[in-house]
Amino acid sequence: MPLFAGIDLGTSSLKVLVVNELGDTIAVANRQYKVNIEKIGYAEQDPKDWCNALEDALFDISKKCNINEIISIGFSGQMHGLVPLDEKGDVIRPAIIWMDQRTKQECLFIQKIARVNDLYQELLNKPAAGMLVCSLLWMKENEKENFDKINKVISPKDYIRYYLTGETLADETDASATLCYSIKDRVWSETLLDLLEFPKKIMPKVIRPYENAGNLKKELADKLKLKQNVYIAAGGGDSAMQLLGNGIIDEYIFTCNIGTASQLATALKKPIVDKNMVLQTWCYVEKDLWYMQSGTLNGGNVLKWLKENILDNSLSYEQMDKLSGLSKVGSQGLICLPYLAGERTPFVNPSARAMFIGFSMKHSKNDMIRAVMEGIIYNLKLSMEIFKEMNIGCKKIISSGGGSRGVTWKQIQADMLNLPVYTTNVSEQACLGAAIMGAYGKGYFSSIKQACEVLIKLNDSPVYPIKENAEYYEENVNLFKKVYETNKDIFPKLQI
């Protein structure tokens, strides 16, 4: 029986999922790595760590299934990051990833250029800290010697695919998230590249997520025990693959993904621009599809921080979910602003900071955990209001990522968004989306829709909102927003 593999390069770990032609999970493996925080606001990773994680995870997979039966591999990965390569194909400096907030001035400069030159009709999005175009301008202004060495710039997941094939390529979903790509015309924005004095030659060729991205190197095929003729699909950005891995290719169905960051996302049949450019519109998996998301910078990273730095690090996330369920709705009046990484949606504010407000002697760790979870979903609730203002309705929510695994997590999502929350039969949806791109590109399915129908199944029992809880959150979301508004002018003064 043929097998399909999906590889997801996340912010904190790399995951590999192998499924069969019926959508059954055959094997899963993952390896973790760190984000290097050299100073406050910086976030970098060593691409060598990604490649080591990839090899180790594939070795694990080889122990769990016949890896030689894998006929296709697709990729998913953290978006926006910058990996600069020299003429030899070597990494010039550590990758600057999406969490990085050093480029505030560069962002303002590019935003001004885009506005003056009427480029937003191409970009459809506002450049923000952590996006490739801003990080590349920072390199040009602060590491000129390194900038001059650049032969190609690629996104993180494109680097691990390059490691396997030797081909420097981008796909349309990740290219659009660099913010130097015309989402309307699906080509690099030559006007913006010229205005920023970026050599056009450094931008890679762009292909569709399901298209062939090269051949597996023989030495790696032998080392990893894979067939050398395995089909390598380009894959896509993690939010696109997460959306696809939940089977969403039609409008009015949303995914609520809580991984390291968190997003609400839905498919579009035409590109739509948020007038305030708080939501993001990216290219999706086919030429006549786009998707819109709330690119919220904070999610499971806040719960991880709480676990590792404040509470007992030996607690599992399952235990934390159970403890949060012992707290009351509203965390007994404790509110958490979850902005450890600054924020992009619903508030564009790289200076935003996390905080708790409302502590009293009655509060416990249960309340702290729940307040963090509620803070993350309050943020998404405010994002959903922006979708509604644009007349983008939602009929169904499919929960994915770590937020789909906890009973309390799912109930808070249902109550806060006031919609039934569904889950799928696979826990690693971004990996599955990547695997679908490989299987479809290989020609195993006649359409992406058919692949989704065969490989993805919704679980039968959604979590429904509890009326009184939904009413509480509807009233108190304004208090959450007021806490942010009251403190937003203080945040820049806290910069180190």
Q: In the prediction, which pLDDT does 475 show?
A: 96
Token match 């007994």: residue? 332
Average pLDDT rounded to a whole number, residues 156-181: 98
pLDDT in tens, 153-165: 999 999 999 999 9
164 falls within a domain: yes
**Are residues 262 and 190 part of one domain?**
no
| Residue 59 lies in domain | 3-239
Structure confidence at residue 496 as a pLDDT band (50, 70, 90): low
Q: In the prediction, which pLDDT does 256 show?
A: 94
**Are residues 289 and 154 part of one domain?**
no
| 354, 299 contact by CB (below 8 A) | no
**Are residues 316 and 215 part of one domain?**
no
pLDDT in tens, 27-53: 999 999 999 998 888 999 999 999 999
**Are residues 381 and 279 part of one domain?**
yes
CA distances from 364 to 108, 306, 340 (A): 42, 13, 21
Question: What SS3 state is found at 170?
Answer: strand
The enclosing domain of 307 has a CATH number of 3.30.420.40
Q: Which residues contact 41 (CB under 8 A, 6 or more apart)?
A: 100, 101, 102, 350, 495
Structure confidence at residue 249 as a pLDDT band (50, 70, 90): very high
- Does residue 404 carry a pLDDT above 90? no
Encoded tokens for 72: 């296709």
**Are residues 208 and 75 part of one domain?**
yes
CA distance 171 to 312: 41
Q: In the prediction, which pLDDT does 118 show?
A: 92
Helices 317-324 and 365-389: angle between axes, nearest 10 degrees = 90
When divided into structural domains, the chain yields a total of 2
Encoded tokens for 212: 């062939």
**Are residues 223 and 288 part of one domain?**
no
- Residue 225 C-beta-side C-alpha neighbours within 13 Å: 14
At which of 239, 266, 283 does a domain end?
239
- Does residue 495 carry a pLDDT above 80? no
CA distance 441 to 235: 10
pLDDT in tens, 406-437: 999 999 999 999 999 999 988 899 999 999 99
Encoded tokens for 356: 């708790």
Closest by CA position to 181, among listed 195, 166, 191, 168: 191
Encoded tokens for 96: 């600057």
CA distance 468 to 465: 9
Helices 429-442 and 238-245: angle between axes, nearest 10 degrees = 80
**Are residues 288 and 271 part of one domain?**
yes
The model carries a pTM of 0.91
Q: What is the DSSP string of 67-125?
A: GGGEEEEEEEE--S-BEEE-TTS-B-SPEE-TT----HHHHHHHHHHHHHTT-HHHH-S
